[in-house]
Amino acid sequence: MRPVLPILIPLMTAVAALLAWRWRGVQRGVSLLGAVALLVAALILLASVWRDGIQVVQIGSWPAPFGITVVVDLFSAIMVALAGLMGLAVAVYSLGSMDTAREEFGYYPLLHILLMGVCGAFLTGDLFNLYVWFEVMLMASFVLLVLGGERAQIEGAIKYVTLNLMSSALLLAAVGILYGLVGTLNMADLAQKLRSAHHPGLVTTLSMLFLVAFGIKAAVFPLFFWLPASYHTPPVAVSAIFAGLLTKVGVYALIRVFTLLFRHDVGYTHTLILILAGLTMITGVLGAVAQNEFRRILSFHIVSQIGYMIMGLGLFTPLALTGSVFYITHHIIVKTNLFLISGVVNRLCGTYELKNLGGLYQAHPGLAVLFMIPALSLAGLPPLSGFWAKLTLVQAGLETEQYVIVLVALAVGVLTLLSMLKIWTEAFWKPSTRNSQPSVNRRQLVHVFFPIIVLALLTVVIGLVVQPFFVLAERAADQLINPEAYIRAVLGGTS
Amino acid sequence: METILAVVIGVLYATGIYMMLRRSLVKLIIGLSLLSNGANLLIFTVGRLTRARAPFVPEGADALQPPYADPLPQALILTAIVISFGVLGFVVVLFHRAYQTVGTDDLDEMKATDT
């Protein structure tokens, strides 16, 4: 029962919020309560997976390869916990930042349906079911993206919707062909049967189809163009949850299928992933350096950071996967926080354009410090969380003697710092060009600042007390690189 | 039969992608629906095309006797059709709204958010 709760709680919350359609206050309360419950359930799940190992629920008590299986290994549990944390952060932030019109048109139910889709994708052990959860997540994200109906939102949504539907069609085709080839969709069963597959060439071809389908969702080079075109258009709370979770679901799916299913020809597939990782980092960060708008810079940085996450997958050693898991953890927290801060900046100055910003350090030194923590962590400066994540990946790269990717990773880190400093000098350091201060509601600011402060503290804590988080990532990576435990947990003792 | 369907699927994919590459919003919708139908048909074909052989285990045997058509892909298609129907409904509304807001159905005019 416990592994299913992170799916059920957001569903219940969304239903309750829908029932309270006319009462905005009730919806806000229900949303907050649901987000807290989700985080608690996710943390309990993480603790129990840490203690007792991989947990499995066979839905409807159908035995493993026939029914739909919910599997939680440590990687899934970490991702669900992060989803819960971001859900809560954004739910609190929304209370202070979302406008009344959007709240009245179902913002809260949609937010929780999105969380349900994300958690479902993390928890499922069935490939077709993964496709279904992707669709649930996408549908909610489509509506969240266009909610409000501003011109920029709709234009961004057209690209987002079209490319994501295309990726869904590819994923569906890939799943169908894989079923035709192997005759099962249960991931553990697939992993077992693919080892003795008769057509390794065909399996490699299929793995490329999966790479493209998940690559579009994860915004990997050269498939990322929908991301910087759409992520800066919706209200900032929506941008933040998208930035924190959606592309990471794609990365999760990539890591899952390329550690569990497609590991017959690592020399080819994972080298290709490594090359893509390098190109993703470079194009993302160069795009960011060229931008002059707060959220567009951050959007391009998502792309460049995705490169680091799949770099660990491409290197495919225990240390590298540890780095990937650690990087995802660090990145989700930091990136969501940066978007949330960009929302505060917009609230204070009324714009996201760097050239119109300025003087924030003088007016709000606290906010400047809060920006500096995640920004420097993103660039990978010690002693913040990003430093350890990058260090692990670089170390893994040196161990496997992939010097080019290490060089790229380090250079991209410097460029990241450069573009963070650009935001710093333009928005915070430069003297103010405005005379009037917009009026700010104190009570709303509590809702807005609370998640930002908590997430910034978390970044610092992960940086200073790195050991337990690293051990957690290490064990998660160990389960990924040795999938026997996963297979045995799902299929029983037969393997 | 497989050959014919393979050709049909290929044509569906090709026309779908061609339509998506056009500049008009309406053609984009047509392209998307052709593409998802192509994918559905692909899964259908992958599940083997055997006529008039219900996938029942005969009396006395404990497994299916080939040849039979696998029923699972058809269940998958059913799910996929429902999903793509819902998504397509949303897309039609979204594109109509885009047409109203931007005042054109030319995709080249909609690049204000691009970088």
Separation of alpha carbons A493 and A138, rounded Å:
36
- Predicted local distance difference test score (pLDDT) of residue B58: 78
Which is nearest to A452 in space by CA: A59, A4, A88?
A88
Q: Which domains does chain B have, with CATH numbers?
A: 2-54+68-108 (1.10.287.3510)
ipTM here:
0.92
Q: Is the pLDDT of residue A495 over 80?
A: no
How confident is residue A347, by pLDDT bands cut at 50, 70 and 90? Answer: confident
Contact (CB, 8 A) for B48 and B69 = yes
- For the stretch A86-130, pLDDT in tens is 999 999 999 988 888 888 888 999 999 999 999 999 999 999 999
Contact (CB, 8 A) for A295 and A239 = yes
Which is nearest to A161 in space by CA: B2, B99, B25, B103?
B25
Vertex A491 angle, CA A135 and A40, to 5°: 55
Q: Which residues of A touch B95 (CB under 8 A)?
A: 158
Which is nearest to A342 in space by CA: A354, A331, A329, A332?
A354
Contacts (Cβ under 8 Å, ≥6 apart) of B24: B105, B106, B107
CB contact under 8 A, A233 and B113: yes
How confident is residue A264, by pLDDT bands cut at 50, 70 and 90? Answer: confident
Distances (CA, A) of A321 to A309, A324, A327, A400: 9, 5, 9, 13
Nearest Cβ partner for A158 among B42, B83, B110: B110
pLDDT (mean) for A373-402: 90
Taking chain A, what is the end-to-end CA distance rounded to the nearest angstrom?
25
- Predicted local distance difference test score (pLDDT) of residue A150: 85
Separation of alpha carbons A172 and B8, rounded Å:
17
Nearest Cβ partner for B97 among A142, A152, A154: A154
Average pLDDT of chain A, as a whole number: 90
- For the stretch A217-254, pLDDT in tens is 999 988 888 898 888 889 999 999 999 999 999 999 99
- For the stretch A142-185, pLDDT in tens is 999 998 888 888 888 999 999 999 999 999 999 999 998 888 89
A contact set with B (CB within 8 A): 128, 131-132, 135, 138-139, 142-143, 146, 149, 151-152, 154-159, 161-162, 165-166, 168-170, 172-173, 175-177, 179-180, 183, 228-230, 232-233, 287, 290-291, 296, 300
Contact (CB, 8 A) for A104 and A148 = no
CB contact under 8 A, A157 and B94: yes
pLDDT (mean) for A373-396: 90
Residue of B nearest to A181 (CA): B46
CB contact under 8 A, A179 and B102: no
Separation in Å, CA of B7 to nearest CA in chain A: 16
- For the stretch A291-328, pLDDT in tens is 888 889 999 999 999 999 999 999 999 999 999 999 99
Chain A, chain B: beta-carbon pairs less than 8 Å apart:
110
Residue of B nearest to A166 (CA): B32
Contacts (Cβ under 8 Å, ≥6 apart) of B103: none
pLDDT (mean) for A448-473: 92
- Predicted local distance difference test score (pLDDT) of residue A494: 46
- Predicted local distance difference test score (pLDDT) of residue A249: 94
Q: Which residue of B113, B114, B115 is the best one to mutate when testing the A interface, meaning the one whose CB has the most A CBs within 10 A?
A: B113
- For the stretch B16-61, pLDDT in tens is 999 999 989 999 999 999 999 999 999 989 887 777 777 777 787 7
Q: Is the pLDDT of residue A435 over 60?
A: no
